[in-house]
Structure 1
Amino acid sequence: MAHDPLAAVSAFATPQTRPIPGRADQVRNAAGGYVFGKDLWRKLEDFLILGTTGGTYYVTEDRLTADNAGVLFQAIAENGPRVVELLTAVSTARPPRAPKQRPALFALAACYAKGDADTRQAAKLALAKVARTTDHLAQFFGYYKNLGGKATARGTAPVAGRSMRTALGSWFLTGSPDDVAFKACKARRRKTPQGEAFDLRDVLRIAHPAADDEQRGTLFGWIAGNVADERAREALPAVHRFLTAKAVTSADEAVRVVTESRVPWEFLPDAMLREPEVWEALVDTIGMTALLRNLARMTRIGALTPMGDATRRAVARLTDREALLKARVHPMDAWLAMRVYASGKARPNPRADLQTWRPVPAVLDALEETYELSFGAVEPSGRRLLVAVDSSGSMSWGHVHAGGSPLGTPYEIGCAMAVMLARIERGDVHVIDVDTEVHASKVTPRTNLREIASWRPSGGGTDLSLPFTWASRKRLHVDGTVVFTDNETWAGRSHPAQAMEAYRREINPRVRVVVAAMTAAGYSIGDPKDDGVLNVAGLDASLPLVVNGFIRP
């Protein structure tokens, strides 16, 4: 009998180099396999969370940036107010969903520059929520100049119509006058993404907001230079503390105002923040989150040294269980702090010089204990999970960054998250590595997070149908499967969605699947029409809780 090529067409086992028959929503990924194209809004959400820094194994940073900018402008044209709603939700989520605020600020600037009247109205109401600091406002302003400004002999200039002036003014009118004064005192001047000077005084003159009470009027006058320091000091406690700090001329005076007057560290002159003894005093007074973020700085200038007194006190705070729980430090926050500190280097922005430091072993040990203690308030789902970490060659390329420090490859990030899930679920987790075969993972609930940095993926191609076919073959009954991947699958003889459906038919019809993307590539192995599949993206600090909540039903 002659071979019938049509007999090879199957909706149940289709090679990943071909689309599933009847599914017009599949697209070809950068590795040549077919996956599910994410819809416009999911692509936009991925961009807002992940950004495009560093690109991917297959796609350059410039190409990824251009692709995601195109997605953003398409979404604005389709439904601008919805874009504003989404970027605001991502920006203001607690715990944070995005490691950087810049994608949301760029999207907000694009809404102003390219949106219709309703979009600009929504953006106007969102500006003060998304651009919460002077640095955020400077970034927004710089992006807006590029997208909605006008060409001049010296470059570009902003076009500040009534809507923009009102939006900028809202930044000065949101919160109590003293709250706004605190933000202004923390940072009056910043740089835009283009490296241009940005001063709140200039913004105030552009916006010209009307003060709603005498105290706020005093603040506006002081920022503009029309109200004397003494009058502002009397009306605004934040200004009083700021001027007290700015009058400091020696490290001894700085230590005194920090310890006696509890002046915030952000108010101190920059010169004082380069003095080790000042940071030795601040170790006891700054908030827990600020302590975690400034460990590298303290080490770089010599405030934290091996066997030093400040190191001992910092370690005591980092290992104080009650203080950590009160500050709601998440395990992911602790892990990020440890990886940044252990990296020994950072470049906060492309224009800055590379900063380096030699990590103090006692601080690294304390951060590991911070990580351990931060699990105290996290409850397990009570469900059995299979966690699959994509260990193909593309997962070893490039580094995920936070605060300008390299955290590790996508494979390392996936393994670290797998450790967290294993720890949270207390033994009801099995972890595997996947390329074109299934490999035993080194991950256990007690994995030392330092070990992961030395791990390397097995390499080779990618077949993400394997977690499901392997579980079916092993007759492994799980309630949920979590896959950490860049979605560049191509090597399987069936699609992941087909293999998952087979697992449901044979083992557990109610299994749920979470696909955690390490890059903003715009597609996923997860079927968007399947209510039992959740597509998430990036270094979301709440990911373990998201998985917990999705798998629990």
Structure 2
Amino acid sequence: MEPPSCPRNHMSNAAGDNSHWEVSDKVRLRRFLCYGSEGDVYTATEEAHLGAARAEALLSMLQEGRGIEAVNEIKRFAQDGRAVRLDPSIFALALCSQHSGMATKRAAFQAVKEICRDPAHLFSFIQYKKELKEDMKCGIWGRALRKAVSDWYNGQDAMSLAAVVTTCKQRGGWSHRDVLRLSHTKPANEAIALISKYVAKGWKEVQVAYTDKENTEEVVKVLSYLEVVEKVKHSCDETEVINLIEEHKLEREQLLTDHLKSKLVWRVLLKEMPLQLVLQILGKMTAKKVLQPGASETQALCERIQTEAALKKAKLHPFSILLASEHYKRGQGYQGKTKWAADGSILKALDVAFYKSFLNVEPIGKSFLVAVDVSTSLSSVVPGTAISTAVAAAVITMVFARTEAHTRVLAYSEGALELCSISADMTLAQTTDELVKIPGGSTDCSLPIIWATENGKAVDVFIILTNNPLWTFTASPVEALKKHRQKSGCHSKLVMCGLTSTGHTMADTEDRGLLSICGFDLGAFTVIRNLAQDLI
């Protein structure tokens, strides 16, 4: 039974309604917000260079008086987790705040405190403002920006603000001291005033001002916290540092470099460190013997890694756990000379976590056909990772097969195509074996779409995975897709993914149902989700 998203009785609509496929300014804006480019190509692991020239759709919307609409889209993508990275949204917000229309400008500045959730985001917004103003030869610190920055600081919980000003002190050439001074922020309460004084004048000035003063309960709490932060900065006693970290939940950014030379300090930091960060430094911690085979700290970490509650809290995706696991198994960093012998218990915990984390993937509710190209060797490595293209194809397949009720999986090459049986209880190794069981040949990416059309299988989203450079194809999957739309009555979309590709893919098209992915990373799943939901 097909899901309701592929109505059989709407054949004429799919064949003749071209408006559904129009790449409008709003669609281009959404693409920019999602991955920093208005084009139909997402390049994995690539940081987009942001500038007004790359945001033509946004500029067009602003010129047409659609600024409020644009700001609402920016907020939507930034807050709903629809963006691969937040930088494009922050840049777009800065661009809207430069607009001459007062309503747009006001809406953009009001959105700063919603989108810029931490100091790094706020500093990025200010830096983008500066870069956009450089050609105009005028300052950025007008009344509106000063108010937006003041509102950001005054809108924070005092204890949370005390924590962030001592952990994220500066980014991209901006510091809290600079920003508070330039914004002329007037603290909304005594606790914020205390933190502002600490940032501007330092701890000694704060002590002089507040020691003999009758302080509120909140001010006393902030004073006590800042006293601990100062105390740990001047402590050479390992035991004292460890006790302060445990008692006050201090983070590594609040410690001295010398403190981080201690194995014991790292062990206590790992207990409270967000799981995403822990996975990034497993190799380093093993190399430094912070994590040792059989040690109680290692056992405790392994238990945490595979706990469903911890995985859910961290919102870890199976693909990110796989990347961490394969990198750890590799035993060597991508840069530098750091090497380690992977601990078996940690690898086992990561394996358990990988399968449990599929519960974190929210179903989209569409019908998918995932087709894996077996025409060439799948033993090459996905750029920027330690995983082979065969394993990458397998985990991509598993994500959709396990979370989407209407998913079919095909393995294909030239003239050969086989429907694969991928069940929810299959392991990664079993899935990989199932995908590569048919012999290879040349690549014909149109075969999976033709198969679906000829067999009456209406598909919302085709995901075609290949090892080949996508510009070398002779058979056009685009033409096959158009025929499938006409016959099925489904607004089918096509994602062409070159797992080892680094350049442009399919020919430029104004068909918004087509998207190319070069390489593969966690962000690619976000891009596919947005396409499936008609957002980009």
**Structure 1 counterpart of 2:342, from 334, 344, 360:** 360
Cα pair distance change 1:433/1:341, threshold 3 Å = same
Match of 2:103 in 1: 118
Partner in structure 2 of residue 8 of structure 1: none
Residue of structure 2 aligned with 1:74, choices 40, 56, 60: 60
**Counterpart residue identity of residue 429, structure 1:** T
1:147 positional shift: 1.5
SS at match of 1:429: strand
- Please name the residue that 1:128 is paired with: 113
Question: Using a 3 Å threshold, how does the CA distance of structure 1 residues 479 and 177 change in structure 2: closer, same or farther?
Answer: same
Equivalent position SS for 1:211: coil
* TM-score normalised to structure 1 length: 0.70
Deviation at 1:206, TM superposition (A): 0.6
Quick one: which of 479, 483, 491 aligns to 2:475?
491
Percent identical pairs in the alignment equals: 22
Kindly state the Cα deviation for residue 450 of structure 1 after the two structures are TM-superposed. 11
Task: State the shift of 1:42 in Å.
Answer: 1.9
- Residue among 453, 467, 472 paired with 1:472: 453
Measured in 2, the distance between the counterparts of 1:354 and 1:450 equals: 35
- Displacement of 1:205: 0.4
Match for residue 17 of structure 1? none
Partner Cα distance (2:283, 2:360) in 1: 27
Structure 2 equivalent of residue 245 of structure 1: 232
What are the Cα deviations for residues 456-509 of structure 1, in whole angstroms up to 9, with x where unaligned? Answer: 997966644x43321233x264665442579967733872442223441xxxx5
Q: Residues 348-382 of structure 1: CA distance to partner in whole angstroms, max 9, x if unpaired? A: xxxxx868554724333322211211234668789
Q: Show structure 1 runs of 5+ residues with no match.
A: 1-11, 13-19, 27-35, 348-352
SS in 2 for 1:388: strand
Change (3 A) 1:485 1:163: farther
| Equivalent residue in structure 2 for 1:417, among 396, 402, 411 | 396
Q: Which amino acid aligns with 1:269?
A: L
Q: Does 1:448 align with 2:428?
A: yes
Check whether the contact 2:94–2:128 (CA below 8 A) recurs between aligned residues.
yes
Task: State the Cα distance separating 1:41 from its structure 2 match.
Answer: 2.1
Residue in structure 2 matched with residue 304 of structure 1 by the alignment: 291
Instruction: State the SS of the aligned residue for 1:98.
Output: coil
Tell me what 2:279 maps to. 292
Post-superposition shift, 1:224? Answer: 1.3
Give the distance between the partners of 1:64 and 1:109, measured in 2 at CA.
15
CA distance in 2 between counterparts of 1:493 and 1:482 reads 10
Alpha-carbon distance between aligned partners in 2 of 1:330 and 1:181, rounded to the nearest angstrom: 31
Asked whether the 8 Å contact 1:304–1:360 carries over to 2, the reply is: no
Shift of 1:318: 0.7
Q: Quickly say closer, same or farther: Cα 1:261–1:216, change in 2 above 3 A.
A: closer
Partners of 1:123 and 1:355 in 2: how far apart?
46
Looking at structure 1, the residues matched to 300 and 443 of structure 2 have their Cα atoms a distance apart, in angstroms, of 49
2:410 counterpart SS class: strand
| Paired residues of 2:31 and 2:37 also in contact (CA < 8 A) | no
Unpaired stretches in structure 2, ≥5 consecutive residues: 1-10, 212-218, 498-502
Q: Which residue of 1 aligns with 2:160?
A: 179
Q: How does 1:361-400 map to 2 (within 5 A)?
A: 361-362=343-344, 363-376=346-359, 385-389=368-372
SS in 2 for 1:283: helix
How far apart are the structure 2 equivalents of 1:437 and 1:224? 71
Give 1:430's aligned residue. 408
Change (3 A) 1:82 1:303: farther
User: TM-score normalised to the size of structure 2?
Assistant: 0.72
Distance 2:504 2:116 in 1: 23
Find the aligned partners of 1:300 and 1:115 in 2 and give their Cα distance. 55
- Tell me if the contact between 1:275 and 1:301 (Cα under 8 Å) persists in the aligned partners: no
Give the structure 2 partner of residue 97 of structure 1: 82
Q: Secondary structure at the match of 2:195?
A: helix
SS where residue 149 of structure 1 aligns? helix
Evaluate the alpha carbon distance shift between residue 399 and residue 459 of structure 1 in structure 2; reply closer, same or farther with a 3 A threshold: farther
Residue 4 of structure 1 is matched in structure 2 by none
Where does residue 84 of structure 1 map in the other structure?
A: 71
- Closer, same or farther in 2 for the Cα pair 1:276/1:461, shift >3 Å? same
Aligned-partner residue type, residue 186 of structure 1 = T
Matched, 1:501 2:501: no
Q: Which residue of 2 aligns with 1:33?
A: none
CA distance in 2, matches of 1:100, 1:340: 22
For the 8 Å contact 2:370–2:462, the answer to whether it is kept is: yes
Three-state SS of the structure 1 residue aligned to 2:369 is: strand
The 3-state SS of whatever aligns with 2:159 is: helix
Change (3 A) 1:56 1:147: same
State how far apart, in whole Å, the 2-side matches of 1:42 and 1:548 are.
Answer: 10
Q: Is the 8 A contact 2:34 2:527 kept in 1?
A: no
Amino acid in the other structure paired with 1:234: V
Matched letter for residue 495 of structure 1:
E
Letter in 1 for 2:267: E
Distance in 2 of aligned mates of 1:416 and 1:223: 47
Contact 1:98–1:539, Cα closer than 8 Å, also in 2: no
* Structure 2 equivalent of residue 317 of structure 1: 304
Pairwise CA RMSD: 5.0
Q: Cα distance, 1:131 vs. partner? A: 2.2
- SS, match of residue 212 in structure 1: coil
Matched, 1:149 2:128: no
Equivalent of 1:214 in 185, 190, 200: 190
Contact preservation (8 Å) 2:370, 2:407 = yes
For residue 340 of structure 1, report the CA deviation from its aligned partner: 5.8
Instruction: Answer whether contact 1:188 1:199 (CA < 8 A) is retained.
Output: yes
Q: Which amino acid aligns with 2:407?
A: V
Say if 1:338 and 1:364, in contact at 8 Å, map to a contact too: yes
Whichever residue aligns with residue 258 of structure 1, its letter is I
SS of residue matched to 1:166: helix
User: Bigger shift: 539-548 or 123-132?
Assistant: 539-548
Measure, in 2, the Cα distance between the counterparts of 1:267 and 1:186.
6
Deviation at 1:46, TM superposition (A): 2.0
Secondary structure of 2:272's partner? coil
